[in-house]
Structure 1
Amino acid sequence: MSDDTPLVLVVEDERDLAELYTTWLAKSYRVRTVNDGRAALDELDDEVSVVLLDRRMPDLSGDEVLDALHERGLDCRVAMVTAVEPDTDVIDMGFDDYLVKPVSKEKLTRTVANLLVRDEYGEGVRRLFSLASKKALLESETKTNALEESEKYQGLLDDIESLRAELDDKLAQLSEDGDLTRIYQDLGEDGSKD
């Protein structure tokens, strides 16, 4: 594989599971595998495109690793892959997707591919994907009446609506200014030069 192939960091304290994830991903991606949070911190660098992060680990939790990743300003996508059932606490966490174990090969590989596609978009669109993932996760894993009573969940819905409106406004502004047409023309010109 070339150095341009995306690098996935698997952080999983169950060694057999870590090896399984690595086997599933190794055909399409470069993969680094670590079995604890401290080792994850050593392996996190600008080369990492996607992190698959267990939440519950003995020495340093996945939540703490996630915080450290953001403190370092690393620009990679993160999927929590964990047996921890989600609650509204996930709304404030800075991950892009959340998978509840057990996870199938198809689900894991599709998630990595989707995260890499998301990475091609601007920050606003990536944030909208992240918020929408949290909304879908909570709606699939939490009782409806508990969500309706949750201020955090209602705040999440407000954030999604606000961000959608902001992105729609930006797209409309580009369209009104003719910038959207110029962007497509520029893309067409770039494509014809290759």
Structure 2
Amino acid sequence: MSEEPPVVLIVEDEPDLADLYAAWLQTDYQVRTAYGGREALDEIDSELDIVLLDRRMPGLSGDEVLVALRERGIDCRVAMVTAVEPDFDIIAMGFDDYLIKPVTKDALKKTVSNLLFRNTYDKGVQELFSLSSKKALLEAEKGNSALEANEEYQELTARIEELRDELDRSIGEVSEHDEFVNMFRSIEADADTDAAAEFDDSDPFGGTQ
């Protein structure tokens, strides 16, 4: 018997939009929908693999749902899917990726696929992916002067370098190493599309290919 498909929870207070996301994903995943933050609390359980979470919702915001999810110890990946422009407050938030509306079908499906890929790695790698996503997003949205003046951003950068050093020492196989490189390029390319940034051949762990 084949394994059950991953479970994706869509939390979105616009029912038509939630249903559209569900239609895009339901062929490949078990999809649940919650049309608001309070309804989402009833759907949070250990079966979840991915949560797609709107931030700005009446009653209970996506930020509050995210806190509740992490406080319950639910070990799933979370992508914020929102019209809220990212600011430095995202650094302290417990999500893994951040999509700014409007979101295309391809972008949504790619995000879910990437988050499932991250689930195959341990906590240290998941943290590195999450922090690198936030760093790339902020660099696409903020100017250099704002980044240089922000203490939280500097701490974020330092933590990423620390994790890279730790993981660089633990990587043993070239094939696995290449998977890391490709994923990091995907993270940064997705976050920096508006700036049309292109990547050089830098290794995300500090070396070169």
Deviations 1:16-75 (A, max 9, x none): 110110010011111000111111110011111000000010011111110011110011
Following TM superposition, by how much is the alpha carbon of 1:11 offset from its aligned partner in structure 2, in angstroms? Answer: 0.1
State how far apart, in whole Å, the 2-side matches of 1:143 and 1:81 are: 23
Match of 2:96 in 1: 96
Match of 1:157 in 2: 157
Match of 1:69 in 2: 69
State how far apart, in whole Å, the 1-side matches of 2:29 and 2:165 are: 35
Quick one: which amino acid aligns to residue 49 of structure 1?
Answer: D
- Is residue 2:122 matched to residue 1:122? yes
- Is residue 2:118 matched to residue 1:84? no
RMSD of aligned residue pairs (Cα, Å): 1.3
Q: Which 10-residue stretch deviates more, 104-113 or 135-144? A: 135-144
Quick one: which amino acid aligns to residue 114 of structure 1?
Answer: N
Larger radius of gyration: 1
Query: What is the percentage of aligned positions where both structures have the same residue?
Result: 63
Quick one: which amino acid aligns to residue 126 of structure 1?
Answer: Q
| Helix, strand or coil at the partner of 1:120 | coil
State how far apart, in whole Å, the 2-side matches of 1:92 and 1:53 are: 16
Deviations 1:111-156 (A, max 9, x none): 0000000000000000000000001111111222211111111111
Unaligned runs of at least 5 residues, structure 2 = 174-209
Q: Which 10-residue stretch deviates more, 160-169 or 39-48? A: 160-169
| Helix, strand or coil at the partner of 1:48 | coil
Q: TM-score, normalised by structure 2?
A: 0.80
Following TM superposition, by how much is the alpha carbon of 1:169 offset from its aligned partner in structure 2, in angstroms? Answer: 3.0
State how far apart, in whole Å, the 2-side matches of 1:89 and 1:98 are: 13
Q: TM-score, normalised by structure 1?
A: 0.86
Match of 1:184 in 2: none
**Matched positions, count:** 172
